[in-house]
Structure 1
């Protein structure tokens, strides 16, 4: 067992448990997150950061074991790719039965990734569930939230809590690479 989160972290955790949404830095971009088992929080998250071609909701897991529990049909090829990839990677995999339907795409898949940021990892561990995450952008935004100053004011206001870490850093320059298993069990890179 790991030590408790510092005070700022515990506020994020209590916000998520209470059905709120949290703005935080992840491994590569600023995102807004919700507890996967809080339907009203997911509704609020999707209203603040609507799904689009650029902004697809994803689940962030603490580790591969937890991902397997939530998405038991994870193909070994994708599992191997996740295990050896050293940068954030989003997979499109068959959704497990515990994943809310509104996070499924037309193919019955859900976007998933493993936490590369230690704070996200700890939140997932303490929740004992994945985080639902969207990029911290509005409906028509094309500029990625690579640093705190690029997060729109309406997204800031929608968040019930904003994590006060890494706000001066440039986190990354692009979204994660997205991969699914296509026809003939070939890897299909979506972007």
Structure 2
């Protein structure tokens, strides 16, 4: 399959309020438009995950990051610039995303993706893309496309037909940056 065709198909599913299964710069992800509360609810239902357990989203670049966080702490840019691996940062006071994506403490984990397909899809959508591992809550994160359960494959509206033979790298590092300057490493 051609990357442009896959992008068009994934984009069409997202615009219809659907959920997609797609390769990210880390693990295979289940995603949707981060501003669509109904689509986000479908992901919680498919994963059998409590809506109190936060999901993260991907943005294409720093410019988009600034559009969806009230105030990005300066240190975030340095952390992301020098990170050796994909890094998700939990920010205070996300804005312009669906309410059911935001944590009870008014935070949201966001990763600036370096994956070409993800960047292009997000730029076309002009909104962040929800990204959560392609597994039922509590089960192991699949290390390859072949390990994704039939329930997940059947439960999404579109499966991106790219990179299905690659081994999945590890999940991202997660760092919580509070606006008061506190930095906390959640996952290395």
TM-score (norm 1): 0.88
Shift of 1:178: 0.6
Question: Residue deviations 1:108-153, cap 9 Å, x none?
Answer: 1001001121101011000011101211110230x21221011111
In the superposition, relative to structure 1, how do residues 125 and 69 fare at CA in structure 2: closer, same or farther (>3 Å)?
same
Distance 2:181 2:60 in 1: 26
The answer (yes or no) to whether the contact 1:51–1:57 under 8 Å persists in 2 is no
The CA deviation string for residues 34-85 of structure 1, in whole angstroms up to 9 with x for no partner, is 0123222111112112446xx7411100001110111031111122212332
Q: In structure 2, do the counterparts of structure 1 residues 60 and 184 end up closer, same or farther at CA, with 3 Å as the change threshold? A: closer
2:85 to 87, 93, 109: 87
Name which of 93, 105, 108 aligns with 1:107.
105
For the Cα contact (< 8 Å) 2:92–2:179, is it kept in 1? no
CA deviation map 1:67-106 (0-9, x unaligned): 0111031111122212332421010101333122212223
Aligned residue pairs total: 184
> Are 1:146 and 2:143 matched, yes or no?
yes
Structure 1 unaligned residues grouped into runs of 5+: none
Give the alignment's Cα RMSD to 1 decimal. 2.0
Are positions 1:73 and 2:71 aligned together? yes
Aligned partner of 1:44 in structure 2 is: 42
Equivalent of 2:28 in 30, 39, 50: 30
Distance 1:12 1:166 in 2: 15
Residues 52-67 of structure 1: pairs in structure 2 closer than 5 A: 56-67=54-65
Any gaps of 5 or more consecutive residues in structure 2?
none
Shift of 1:7: 1.4
Distance in 1 separating the partners of 2:19 and 2:33: 8
Question: Quick one: distance in 2 between partners of 1:72 and 1:183?
Answer: 10
What TM-score do the two structures reach when normalised by structure 2?
0.90
